[in-house]
């Protein structure tokens, strides 16, 4: 999305007088993009997850504006539990306690200031991190009584409507994520390296939940990627962005209509290993 188009949707570009009216604040929708700083293969940047989440939230804000909703994108969170990639330089991991506390404190601060419509979008699927998001959302609800929406695309409700490669579980610096980056900003990709990468069929769901592994190198991912990034295209990335932003809009409109209800956690948000077909 072009820079000039993003400016009206960035929460950080507002000043306090823009938000002085309490009644108006209660109508505002805030989107919180969450990512990580971690290795994403030899071809994609450490900021991959954050970049994707930010773009999805910006597209969502623009779509919501066309539906007469006032929506803004909060500054992105770029740090999370990232132990899977911890063997690779550049990866920054925080503790689960800090992860949960950071998200819940941000939401509680906003709720305390009168912002009651918040939706989280996350692109970093390490299970311990996704669990932190769910715990943060539950904490906000418990303390404030306000329901925060979380568009968890690992739930079948969403994943079944995404491209086949995402459903295969090859979703780290793979065709899925690489296509998204190529659609957002192709200069972020090292094309020479991308085109030379062989396909690496690694099912992350299998490794994480059935084999109980925790590090990419244990998974058989010596370069911190899996799948087939060489087959990525900007066209597929643009199509995925449209779908992801549509999911956010769907959740936000449910939030506005007060239809946010407790749901079963998506696959990566579970506390314990379960049968895969239990996912909602």
Gap between the Cα atoms of 96 and 110, Å rounded: 22
Confidence tier at 275 by pLDDT (50, 70, 90): very low
Tell me the mean pLDDT in the region 95-112: 98
Q: Which domains does the chain have, with CATH numbers?
A: 29-274 (3.40.50.10310)
Measuring CA to CA, which residue among 198, 252, 265 is closest to residue 225? 198
pTM of the predicted structure, to 2 decimals:
0.92
**If pLDDT is split at 50, 70 and 90, which confidence band does 252 have?**
very high
Edge-to-edge order in the sheet of strand 71-73: 71-73, 29-34, 117-122, 149-151
Query: With the CA atoms of 38, 80, 134 and 217 taken in that order, what torsion angle do they form, in degrees rounded to the nearest 10?
Result: 40
Give me the chain's average pLDDT, please.
Answer: 91
Can you give the pLDDT at residue 261? 55
pLDDT digits (tens, 9 = 90+) for 115-139: 999 999 999 999 999 999 999 999 9
Please spell the DSSP secondary structure of 157-221, one letter per residue: HHHTTS-HHHHTT--SSSHHHHHHHHHH-GGGS-HHHHHHPPPB---HHIIIIIS---SHHHHT-
- For residue range 9-24, list pLDDT tens digits in order: 999 999 999 999 988 8
Look at residue 276 and tell me whether its pLDDT is greater than 90: no
Q: Which residues contact 98 (CB under 8 A, 6 or more apart)?
A: none
């Amino acid at each position: 999305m072009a820079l000039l188009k993003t400016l009206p949707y960035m929460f950080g570009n507002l000043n306090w007088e823009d938000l002085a009216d309490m009644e108006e604040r209660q109508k505002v929708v805030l989107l919180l993009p969450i990512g990580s700083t971690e290795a994403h293969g030899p071809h994609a940047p450490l900021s991959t997850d954050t970049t994707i989440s930010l773009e999805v939230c910006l597209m969502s804000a623009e779509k919501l504006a066309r539906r007469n909703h006032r929506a803004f994108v909060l500054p992105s969170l770029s740090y999370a539990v990232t132990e899977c990639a911890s063997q690779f330089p550049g990866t920054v991991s925080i503790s689960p306690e800090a992860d949960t506390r950071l998200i819940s404190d941000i939401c509680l601060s906003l709720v305390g200031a009168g912002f009651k419509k918040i939706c989280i979008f996350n692109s970093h699927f390490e299970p311990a991190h996704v669990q932190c998001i769910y715990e943060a959302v539950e904490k906000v609800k418990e303390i404030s009584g306000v329901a925060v929406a979380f568009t968890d695309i690992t739930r079948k409700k969403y994943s079944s409507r995404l491209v086949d490669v995402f459903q295969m579980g090859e979703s780290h610096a793979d065709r899925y994520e690489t296509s998204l980056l190529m659609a957002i900003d192709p200069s972020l990709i090292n094309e020479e390296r991308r085109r030379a990468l062989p396909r690496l069929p690694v099912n992350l769901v299998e490794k994480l939940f059935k084999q109980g592994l925790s590090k990419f190198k244990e998974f058989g991912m010596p370069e911190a990627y899996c799948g087939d990034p060489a087959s990525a295209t900007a066209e597929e990335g643009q199509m995925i962005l449209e779908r992801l932003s549509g999911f956010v809009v769907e959740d936000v409109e449910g939030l506005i209509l007060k239809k946010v209800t407790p749901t079963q956690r998506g696959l990566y948000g579970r506390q314990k290993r379960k049968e895969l077909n239990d996912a909602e």
